[in-house]
Structure formats: structure tokens, C-alpha cells
A and B are shown apart, each in its own frame.
Chain A
Amino acid sequence: MTLAMTITQVPVRVDDSKCIAEKGCTVCVDVCPLDVLAIDMLTKKAYMKFDECWYCLPCEQDCPTGALTVDIPYLLR
């Protein structure tokens, strides 16, 4: 349950075409209070590594390219 490695819908969605993590951007990873985001070493894009979201939105708000969308976690909505 904790690891977001199961194929499922996780609250934080990343639009890979907009994410500029390959240029060294780590804003969303830096600001997440729960530290649940990471940069995938293979794709060089941000992703949600742990499904432990407070749907608080700093990642979405602070992303310089608008690549992130936070959905309310399924169990709540």
C-alpha cells in the first residue's frame, strides 16, 4: 500500500512532456511535505514514489512548467 509501485491511480500525475527534471529541476521533490515524489533515474521525469499524499498542492503550485496535477486520493473522493 505504501509504495506506489502497484499499477494503480496515484494522486500525483506528471505530464512527462512538460516535466523538465532532465534539466535538473527538482522543485516538486523539494517542496513535498511528505517526501513522496522522486525523479525516475531511467526516464529522468518526476513521479510519485509513495502513495502518501495530503493533497496539499505545493508540488502542483510550485512546478515551473505546470506538469503536475494532484487528484484527491481515490479512497476519499
Chain B
Amino acid sequence: MKTIEMEFDLVVIGGGTGGPMAAVKAKERNPKLRVLLIDKANVKRSGAISMGMDGLNNAVIPGHATPEQYVKEITVANDGIVDQEAVMAYAAGSFDMIQELDRWGVKFEKDETGDYSVRKVHHLGAYVLPMPEGHHMKRILYRQLKRARVEITNRVVVTRVLTGPNGEVSAVMGFDCRTAELYVIKTKAAVICTGAAGRLGLPASGYLMGTYENPTNCGDGHSMAYHAGADLANLECFQINPLIKDYNGPACAYVTGPLGGYTANSKGERFIECDYWSGQMMQEFHNELLSGNGPVFLKLNHLAEETIQEIETILHSNERPSRGRFHDKRGNDYRKQMVEMHISEIGFCSGHSASGIHINARGETAVKGLYAAGDCASVPHNYMLGAFVYGKLCGENAAAYCAEVGNTVPDKEALAAERTRILAPLERSGGLTPYQIEYKTRRLVNDYLQPPKITSKYEIGLRRFAEIREDMDSMSAGNAHELMRAMEAHSILDCAEMAAHASMFRTESRWGLYHNYVDYPKRDDENWFCHSLLSRGADGQMAMRKKAIEPYIVPVDDEERTAYQRMRVARSAEAA
């Protein structure tokens, strides 16, 4: 098989949301920098916002919110386990980014005075800004990539970041998903922007790609960061989201909530105070599903016709526009009946929860020259705007880093080993298909890792994952496309094992349903008010350690600290 060799200063892996921003900002910082944006799909339509986005979920806009308020809100929403400096770096850059996107042509909702129409969805403050025409987002980003003269390589699956003599980034490796040609790209620095690990659990429908997240986002970045020697933070804080049952996409409460829609039980009653997605909210959702009051619904049928039309326009043209045709086939009409909801399969996604490749307020990982931004990185509740802000930080900081260092030679043995690993499935005939391996891994994730978490189930899960790891030696691929699925199956298995190890390490319960550990049902601040970090140990196995919470820069008082604990609607009849 042919090997294509290239050399750049900076390679940005993943062209969805944070990736294009990182590449553009690196070029703006230093136009002479050789920057490559690489994607396994096509940058024009790749990533979580392939079809745009219906709004900003965490806009920090003067007059509506302050960065300090926002840091406090996220600290409380994430049960205190945050690096406040990293959250503040987002919050402080939030408004500048909104203004820049505005200049680039993104249309935000404004009132008659020209001020941004910010809505309240969170428990404490107001941070939601609708973008009714947000379906243009990818086109706007693409225009900026062209303007900044960023080089783009599509349809190349990056599988590893290789390091040099001092553990610094020295190359990335991958292959073309249409020709299976190998790529060895020497580089001084890399930014991982590969999105969520969204192909971890199996959707209830059984359709492998019917995931909540864009199924291209399957944890490739989490896996390559781990193998490069980076730390991954708080992976036991799973992502589980409320969604339209079977369709498996968002409903979406951030759009409908401010217009009067809400999450209801089968009696049409509210049962949660706040529709902002937190682990506590998901726990109440889970409880209601299992109670005699389930299932759970999105209730809009009490709203006025023009409001429903507005909701339909937004939900059926942005982010997941096929929602409309799903409803048509089901006979769902927002006017007539409530829409059945459910909870998603598990995944890793800092955009909505808090786990990912550990980065600091500069976007740096533990590996020199390696940065991460967006859903794959560890800054909690970061959403799309957080991916943009951290994409910018990573791009600028990586550009500065590149100016200080030279290219180094990647480890020869690691390069040869990766070449062998990539080509192996193509060289086998017969054996197991990537589809079988992936299906089984993800089915076991559902069987054993889905919260509530139980130690004995997790132990069985780990044993079964170890068996699948041996089965990888008989996985075959008949063509380059299947090779992509085969390499993704490796990433998925890595993530499944990481999810299990991280969950068993934190012997307490925290973040509501996300880490509801039946063996340790109580929150234990004395022992577990800390981050958990997973990395590759000296023995090559996954190793866990604690990391102290960085000193708070925004103090949180006791009343605020418990705000997200008081999620369930109080029943006056029950109280009496």
C-alpha cells in the first residue's frame, strides 16, 4: 500500500466546529504557518453541526450575564468539579466570539433595539441565544477557511498522534477511507477536535448509526490522546441526554422552553423545575420514566398556533432537520399530542456534560504540542460556542508554540506498529466483520455500563471487553470503507474500557444519573471533591489518579451550591 508523506507546522484533526476555528485562528496569528485541517468526512458538512445549530446555549452577553455568573452556574451545575480558570477562559471569550461570528454573517436573534434576544433556560442565569437561521453555520466557517488559506484534506481518518524523543508531538498517522492509502504527516503540533465519543452505547432502536451524536464522532480523538500519553478527565461523568424516543435526536428543550414548552409526564404534568441538561435533571427524568407516571413527553399542545409554527420552523430546518419527517411518519403533531421522549445511550461529551481529554485554560493537554477543543476536551458544558472559543485558544497557542520549536522525528517503532495495526484488517480474509465487533462492544456497554452503575456488572463488562480485544486479531475489512469502521471499532473499545475504569475509580455517586453508583450511593466530598484522571500507565494499562480541584476564582455560596439539587417540582398535595 502506498504511503503519502507530508509535513506541516500544525495539523488540526477534525473539521466540524472547533477545528475550523483553530485552523483559521492559527493562520491569523501567523499567516506563514503551514496549517492542515484534516477530516474523515468533508469539512463542508462534517461534525455535530453538519446541518447547523439552532442557537447558542451558553452565550455570556453583557447586560444579560457576566463571566463570573456563568462560571458560578457551571460550577454548581457540575457539582463543583470544575477547573474554574478553564471555564472562565471560555466565559471571558464568549462575547468576543459572538461578535466575530456576527461579523462573519451568523444571524442571531435580536430585539427591536438591536440587542441580542437572550432567553433563560439554566437554573440561575440567562444564556440562551436563538439562531433561527443557524443552518448556514458550516458554509460560513468554510468561507473563513478559504479566506485564511488553510489547507484541507478530506476523507482521511487520523488514528494516532506520534511523539518524538521527548514525548512531544512529531507526526500524525491515518489512512484514506476510500483508497486505504496510509498517511504519515510530520508536524510540530496538533489540535484534536474530534467531537464526542457518541458511538459508545447502542441506541434503543438497534440501528448502529442512529446515535444521538453524529456517528462519525466515535471517540477517535479520546483514543489517540490516550495513546499519545495525554490525560483524560472525569470520564465517569457520562453524557446521557433527553431525546425524541427512537428518532434519538434532541427535542429540543432549549428552543421550546423559552417559548412555553416543557417536559411532562404521561399526565401532562411538569416534574422538573428546569430543563437545562444536568445529571440531576437526567436522574429525575430517569426516575419518572421508571415510575407509574412514565413515559416522559415534550408538551407543546397547549401553545398558540403561531408559537408552534415558530418552533417547527426552527426545529425542522436546523441541527437535526429530519425531525419533521420523523413526526410526519409517526403522526406526531405538536398541536395535537405530546411527543414521547426518552434518554439517550451513554457517551463522552463535554459539550453537554464534563468528560474528555484533559486541557487547561490554554487548551494544552499533558503532551507537549498537543491541544484539544470542543466536545472531546474536558471543559464542562461547553456546547458549540465553547468549541469555537477553545478552538480559537488552541489555534493561537499552538501557533505560538510552533514558532518556538522545530520538527522532530517520530518514534520509529510506534510508526511501524501503527502501520501494521492499520493494514492488518485488510490483509485478513474472513474472520469477524467490523460491524460484528462494534455491535457487540456497544451492546455490552448498554448491558453493563449504563447507569445506575454496579461494581459486579462493571467487572463482567471489563472481562467481556478483554475478550473483544483478543477478537480484534481476527477482524477483517474487505475495502477502505470497512477499514474505517474497523479502526473506529478500536476507538470504541478503548472508550468502553476507559468508561469502565473511570467509573469504578470514583467510589461515590455524583452528577445525578451520569455517575449514579449503586454501591456508593452518596456524594462524598471529603474523598472525591477532585478530578479523576485516566492515562496510560508505565505497564501500558489504563491507570487512574486523583487531581485536586484548582482553587476557585469565583466563590460559590451554600444556597447556590445546592440549586441544581432541587430539581423536582414540589407537590403541595404530597407535602400536606
Contacts and interface: CB of A to CB of B under 8 A. Distances in A.
B435 A33 contact: no
Q: SS class of chain B's interface: helix, strand, loop or mixed? A: loop
Contacts of B326: 55, 72, 76-77
Interface in B423-451: 433-435
Q: SS class of chain A's interface: helix, strand, loop or mixed? A: loop
Contacts of A33: 41-42, 45-47, 50, 214, 216
B207 A30 contact: no
Contact of A2 (B206, B211, B247, B433): B433
Given A52-B208, A72-B325, A34 B215 contact: yes
A17 to B, nearest CB: 22
B294 interface: no
Contacts of A56: 50-51, 214, 320, 322
Nearest to A74: B207
Contacts of B216: 33-34
A53 B329 CA distance: 18
Interface in A1-26: 1-2
Contact of A32 (B41, B330, B434, B435): B41
Given A30-B44, A33-B41, A54 B247 contact: no
Given A31-B42, A35-B481, A57-B51, A77 B329 contact: yes
Contacts of A58: 45, 50-51
Interface string B243-281: 000111000000000000000000000000000000000
B485 interface: yes
A62 interface: yes
A2 B207 contact: no
Contact of B209 (A52, A57, A72): A52
A30 B42 CA distance: 7
Interface in B45-75: 45-47, 50-51
Contacts of B46: 33
A71 interface: yes
A63 to B, nearest CB: 12
B433 A72 contact: no
A75 interface: yes
Given A57-B51, A72-B247, A77-B326, A31 B44 contact: yes
Contacts of A75: 205-207, 210
Given A2-B433, A35-B484, A77-B330, A62 B178 contact: no
A76 B209 CA distance: 11
Interface string B470-501: 00000000000110110000000000000000
A73 B247 CA distance: 9
Contacts of B247: 72, 76
B480 to A, nearest CB: 9
B482 A2 contact: yes
B206 A35 contact: no
Interface in A29-70: 30-35, 49-50, 52-58, 61-62, 70
B155 interface: yes
29 contacts: A1-B208, A1-B435, A2-B482, A2-B485, A31-B42, A33-B46, A33-B47, A34-B209, A34-B216, A35-B481, A53-B209, A54-B210, A54-B215, A55-B322, A56-B214, A56-B322, A58-B45, A70-B325, A72-B247, A72-B325, A72-B329, A73-B207, A75-B210, A76-B210, A76-B248, A76-B326, A77-B246, A77-B326, A77-B329
Given A54-B209, A57-B322, 7 more contacts: A35-B178, A52-B208, A52-B215, A72-B325, A75-B205, A75-B207, A76-B205
Interface of B: 40-42, 44-47, 50-51, 155, 177-178, 205-211, 214-216, 246-248, 320-322, 325-326, 329-330, 433-435, 481-482, 484-485
